[in-house]
Structure 1
Amino acid sequence: MIQAAQVQKKVAVFATVLLLITTTIVASMSVGSGSLSFDRLLSTILGHGTVKENLVLFSIRLPRIAVTLLAGMALALSGAILQGITRNDLADPGVVGINAGAGVAISAFFLYYPLDPKTFAYVLPLVAFGGALTTAVLIYLFSYSKTTGLQPVKLVLVGVGFALALSGLMIILISSADYRKVDFIAKWLAGNIWGADWPFVWSLLPWLVILLPYTLYKSNVLNLLAMDEAIAIGAGVSVNRDRLLLLGAAVALAAAAVSVTGGIAFIGLMAPHIAKSIIGRRHQYCVPLAVLMGGWLLLFADTVGRNLVDPAGIPAGIMVALIGGPYFLYLLLKK
């Protein structure tokens, strides 16, 4: 009886989040500078729209929705992995400096490397991954002790220090660059969803398609790592190898996401924590819920932000920070 009630609760939770995502997608398709009424929206989806309606929906709105949803999912999955392997609910790719490492690599690439428009969308996640991986390895080395292993609190503190240092380096990089390229970097730093086109969807999708099943496959390892290193070793887990592989997965997901959405923090912090508080800490259940929650949070923030102020709106990164900043302080005081 108890098990059946728990199953029903999980089904209800997932159904509710899916309903929230569907409602937000419909709202995001309908509202904006060229709004589509619900009856016209349905007609356009079915292929009976005007040229303008088709342009607005299929070339502007839908790719932005897809990019935002996928990026939010990737950031949430990255945060869930980081929180599991570090045993720290404050771990987030934006907070611990991984996003900043990706940002420095993207800035250097964008400012000083000749750009090929045909391959730009596909090369950028790889460039971001290189910068983020280098940063993550350095943070890991500074936070690791031979006697006590990885120190979760030290990891967050070192990560915050790296984030600040890399933000300063980014300012130095753009200080003497062409003003048009500086404008792009400034928008990236604010978390403006700039990669709102179908090539960016296809460049982001494979990372999730590969790394989400891998994370679910490693759910038991994450459960053990989140408890204690001694327990994980006793259960036969190769702690260092699995932790490094999962760290690589988290870095790849965060780098792929921020390469098309800009410097967005706190999604990877909030979504896993909310999922754990609702459905429990077992990664078999909290990871899928966190992924859905992260996609919805970023999509909701972008939908509200771009329609809040005319004409440019408020970047999604700022909208997320308005919510995530106080939430981070709450968790910090609580822990």
Structure 2
Amino acid sequence: MSHEKLRTSRKWLFLSMGIYLVLFVVGLSFGASTLSIDRLIPVLFGQGTFKEEFILFSIRLPRILILTLAGAALAMAGAVLQSVTRNDLADPGIIGINSGAGVGITVFYLFAGSKIQHFNYVLPVIAFIGGLLTAICIYFFSFEKGKGIQPVKLVLIGVGFASALSGLMILMISSAERQDVAFISQWLAGSVWGTDWPFIVALFPWLMICIPIIYFKANVLNLLTLSEPTAIGLGVNINKERSILLVVAVALAAAAVSVTGRIGFIGLMGPHFAKRLVGPKHQSFLVITPFIGAILLVLADILAQIIFSSAAVPTGIVVAIIGAPYFLYLLRK
């Protein structure tokens, strides 16, 4: 990497970190109960009232951290999927992986019911199994021998799987109790339901394992974006590397949506914005991709609370309002 490109990458990295920190502080201050910015530091150091400490440590802080981890995970998952499939439209939500994870969560919820809060460590595993089975099916149907994965076919099959699996979730809860229907409906809308500290502890290890693997495989990802004959000629074991990276991407996406609900487009927008800022080389844009993912999801949550404060609009709906036009723009290109 040239000195100029390195300086540009560092500039955007520090800028994205700064924007995230601003949104982090703003997110701690906005909500149904007021907690002014000038009171944050005193409350953090134990100089607040019981109400202020409860709002900050039991409601706002865990929610912001969950949004941060989920946004980073979804953005990194999208970056990997776009490179592995050589399709700029690939996103865990668009191609059905999130819906596959949702089916797993739905089946588990119908058995666990209201006790699902006690299975915070199990939920990412259940979502991972559902997401991985879906990804294998999509991969199988979009693969052509001698040609590899067909990008357009992958999106079409993924959209079909996403619709079918969403319908399956609705079918499964059609005869369920009212509270069960409410939970699954909130999950489908991306309501960010798992905002307690145990869910942070459950989600954090998935990022700590998967994201370093992605960084380690950055050069392999560069080669996978080339044509298959070229990648093979450069010594890449395509099937092995694709399998590893696909599992990592599914693990990140499934772990994220297991606690946030079905949130799409973060995995689409995050990598694209990062590439526009620092270029398409994975060693460059993967560094800022998690921050951009976190920025997008935290910003969407803040907008949901400020603009739609009286309507209680789920964060996933706000993300869709932002992301759908961008998806159409990319599709047109």
Instruction: Name 2:238's counterpart in structure 1.
Output: 239
Amino acid at match of 2:72: M
Amino acid at match of 2:322: I
Q: Which sections of structure 2, spanning at least 5 residues, go unmatched?
A: none
Q: CA deviation at 1:167?
A: 1.1
**Local SS of the residue matching 2:2:** helix
Map 1:33-72; keep pairs closer than 5 Å. 33-72=32-71
Q: CA deviation at 1:3?
A: 3.1
What per-residue deviation string (whole Å, max 9, x for no partner) do you get for residues 83-116 of structure 1? 0001110000000000010111111110134665
Map 1:122-137; keep pairs closer than 5 Å. 122-137=121-136
CA distance in 2, matches of 1:184, 1:313: 15
Q: CA deviation at 1:168?
A: 1.1
CA distance in 1, matches of 2:113, 2:59: 27
Amino acid at match of 1:286: F
Instruction: Name 1:271's counterpart in structure 2.
Output: 270
Amino acid at match of 1:129: F
Q: CA deviation at 1:6?
A: 2.2
CA distance in 2, matches of 1:168, 1:38: 43
Instruction: Name 1:229's counterpart in structure 2.
Output: 228
CA distance in 2, matches of 1:186, 1:252: 23
Alignment partner of 1:166 is 2:165:
yes
Q: Which moved more, 1:103-112 or 1:324-333?
A: 103-112
CA contact (8 A) 1:307 1:313 kept: no
Q: CA deviation at 1:119?
A: 4.0
Instruction: Name 1:121's counterpart in structure 2.
Output: 120
Amino acid at match of 1:180: Q
CA contact (8 A) 1:308 1:314 kept: no
Instruction: Name 1:145's counterpart in structure 2.
Output: 144
Q: CA deviation at 1:190?
A: 0.5
**Local SS of the residue matching 1:227:** coil
Map 1:1-335; keep pairs closer than 5 Å. 3-113=2-112, 116=115, 119-311=118-310, 313-334=312-333
CA contact (8 A) 2:206 2:252 kept: yes
CA contact (8 A) 1:189 1:262 kept: yes
CA contact (8 A) 2:30 2:305 kept: no
**Local SS of the residue matching 1:192:** coil
CA distance in 2, matches of 1:242, 1:189: 32
What per-residue deviation string (whole Å, max 9, x for no partner) do you get for residues 22-49 of structure 1? 0001001112222112221110012211
CA contact (8 A) 1:133 1:248 kept: yes
CA distance in 1, matches of 2:225, 2:158: 19
CA contact (8 A) 1:306 1:315 kept: no
CA distance in 2, matches of 1:28, 1:115: 28
Q: CA deviation at 1:151?
A: 1.2
Q: Which moved more, 1:304-313 or 1:132-141?
A: 304-313
Amino acid at match of 2:222: N
Task: State, as a whole percentage, how many aligned pairs show the same letter.
Answer: 52
Q: Which sections of structure 1, spanning at least 5 residues, go unmatched?
A: none
**Local SS of the residue matching 2:102:** helix
> RMSD of aligned C-alpha atoms?
1.4
Q: Which moved more, 1:263-272 or 1:2-11?
A: 2-11
CA distance in 2, matches of 1:312, 1:105: 29
Amino acid at match of 2:168: L
What per-residue deviation string (whole Å, max 9, x for no partner) do you get for residues 161-184 of structure 1? 111111111111010001101101
Q: Which moved more, 1:302-311 or 1:15-24?
A: 302-311
CA distance in 1, matches of 2:108, 2:191: 18
Count matched residues. Answer: 333
What per-residue deviation string (whole Å, max 9, x for no partner) do you get for residues 178-209 of structure 1? 11011011011111011011011011101111
Amino acid at match of 1:82: L
Q: CA deviation at 1:232?
A: 1.2
CA contact (8 A) 2:266 2:293 kept: yes
CA distance in 2, matches of 1:116, 1:318: 26
CA distance in 1, matches of 2:314, 2:115: 26
CA contact (8 A) 1:103 1:170 kept: yes
Amino acid at match of 2:231: A
Amino acid at match of 1:183: A
